[in-house]
Structure 1
Amino acid sequence: MTTVNLAQPDLTLHLDRDGVIRDTTLSDRIETGGLQPWHGRPWSETVTASGFATIERMVKDAWRTGVSAFTPVNQLFPSGAELPLEYTTVRLGGDAGLLAIGRRFHVVADLQSRLIAAQQAMERDHWRLRDVEIRYNLMFNGANDPLLLLDAATLRITEVNPAAGRLLGVGHDWSFIDQIAKPSQPVFHAMIQRARTDGQAPGVIVQLGTPRESWIVRASLADGGVVPSYLLHLTPVAASPRGTTLPDRSVCPALIARLPDAFVIIDRDGVVRQANAAFLDLIEAASDAVVLGARLDRWLDGSGNDLAMALELIRNHGRIMTMPSVIHGEYGAVVEVEISASSDDGMIGLLIRDTSRGAIRGGAGNGDPLQAALGALSLEVGPTTMHEAVDQTVAAVEQHFIRAALEQTAGNRKAAAALIGLSRQSLYLKMNRYDLE
């Protein structure tokens, strides 16, 4: 491999006292033909007209001080080529004359142009970053939902938007984990861990503030800065991600928590947003912190196929009438279930019935008191009005369900009321009415 010594001159001129060229030396880096026509001619005649005065000054400086400063000159070669060179002139000892040493000026000019281009690129990047920063500030500070930046190492708040300060009452350098109710902290830590490994994580429901209110929190990893951060997007549970209003939380427990069958609300991705106590019992979970923010296929079927099928049916038909499946509990229990579902405003409600237990739906064999009561009523059609027949039928059904529920719960009235979907007060009234004390 051939190396080029850039310290060597590209062109060397040996001049006499009057600046006339006596000899020339040309490096291999310049290909302009022979320089014999220059010999015996003044150096000033081999440059452009703008360089006459420059050459004369360089010669005088060299004779006076011994060496002249480097000066750019446009050199005209015998071949007709014009090449910018940078010269310095050195005085030799005695009557030896002068030595003009030239190197290609375009190397310096190229370096200058590169520096200028780099500076312009830096300025463009600066203004581009400023534009990105302005857009970020407009989006971050103008968002209606609370947005927070957390330090990835300490989970302390490094930046909040106005909505977060207004709705959550949090500020810079606050510990976000201290704002979360202790039962919600494990599910929040699990979401943060998933965001650390996957870059983002689906939302979970946590209890924040005083008084404790439910918020859907989504996290994504923002590692573009010096220190990695988490960007949190918070949405009130009372509002869906699309801005639509979910049922009032004061109503949902009254309708859902009392259901004897498991009931769960999931989003379009299969992530659990709400579950009743019967569902927690079915999957052997200690609290809703285990299920909120997790996918339903963690317990449903186990392979994920049933959830995918259910979501597909919901997308195509809007509801599911009956769908058999299997629930796998946290501690290994396997329960056969039947699922019915419907969707509204992006949320899906699933009613999951345990078909393995001997529920009060069956028992229609011989000697069944309900069947006997209903059969006796059929003999009275004619003398009895329809209104009276309906009242007697309802009474017979209610008595049967109350007796069966009390039998299954070993006389526990609270459990019996929950089993048949009544409040304890309503159960006591009906027991008094039918003399079932």
Structure 2
Amino acid sequence: MDTTALKSLQRFKTPESWFSAVDARHAAALFAASSDVSLIIDGKGVIQDIALGNEDYYPLDLETWVGKSLHDIVNIDSRSKAAALLRDATFDARTRWREVNVVIPSGSSIPLNFTAVRLSADGDVVLFGRDLATEARLQQRVIDIQREMEADYARLRNAESRYRLLFHMASEPVLVIDAENGRITEANPAAARFLGVAPSRLVDKSVRDLFEPASASGLQSAMTIARSMGKLQDQSLRLADSGREIIMAVSQYRQDSRQFLLMRLSVTNAPEGETDFPSTALEVLKRLPDAFVAFKLDGEILEANNTFVELCQLASADLARGAHLERWLGRPGIDYSLIATNLRDYGSLRDFATLIRGELGAREEVDVTAVYVQDVDEPCVGMLIRPVRRRSALPLVREAGVQSTVENLSHLIGTMPLKDLVRETTDMIEQMCIEAALKLTDDNRASAAQILGLSRQSLYAKLHRFGLGDLSSQD
């Protein structure tokens, strides 16, 4: 619809057919009924009469406005709008609506939406005012409802965050199962470690696939009882992959008109008289001052203590679990292959010199001792990692002879670059030759220089370099 058509709708098309017989009393009634507050303003801007179409305004004593200037009952911030209403008023059309804040006799102000129509050539104008309080209350109600919805959403989001944090940090293996189709919808990391698979591989997998066929009837019975009774405790089943016997407990809950089962897994109870040593030992290893890491032989980390986390410059142990150990241990492509080969062939490894590469770039020389445990349901490697002092120079064992020196040299292979190793070895041999020449010549430096094929100045420089003999005297 174009602008001209819209403007034509602002007035009656044939007013003379309907209002020709309307007298002043009828017109006044129409004015009063068409708005909440109607004001008659003369050409000087003074209020001459008032009519109230809203009973809520009766107690406000607005009739005291009569005789006052419109300028005086309007707030300072709205006076320009009031003047524009009087200025723009015409006989055949109303002005656009303007929000004006007026001062009531009690001293407070209320917002009214005004439009104006001119009554006479003398400048008389009628102002039609509509109450904005109702609209403001509705707007405020909408804002309050929106805030309530946002607060409810924030509470739900925080509750979900707390649930997910507890779910993922729980040490007890837990599966969430859709009761209708028996498929896993969620699995916490403890359940993934317990079952020996990645959490992502468990999601949307049928829970029946986790257990042996012989346990299928027991599983189905347990799920049926949990759905009808609410929970079931201590149902014994066997895992399909390892054949290990476990204890299962199931509880049911509802969410979004759907039924879910919460399945908790645990190992069978230890024989009477046995202590829970494995969990105690695990807690000891977690608090060990040396770094400890448990991993599969293929390198996937299963568990790591706080010292390992700090050594690798990680924020938490969760960042290490599931990652490959070679990401932080040893020289890429070299050390881990040697460690894995030795563990596979001999079952253990002692004092292997390597290094740890921190996530933030730090490098720390370490000795590792490891053992490969194979006779368990889930074979794994336990490794103890100890930082060692950096070997800045090759140790010299003068009294022990060349054989001991070669043994010391073999221990240093892999702990420093080849060029540094060659330089240290060269210095060692040079020092040994000078010491041998001085011994043969009874500490005669001129003769020693001649035997070594050096000038006396070169020999003195090397003696000073290696700190040999009394350099204060010269022969």
Please, what TM-score do these two structures have when normalized by structure 2? 0.44
Higher relative contact order (CA 8 A, sep 6+): 1
Please, what TM-score do these two structures have when normalized by structure 1? 0.47
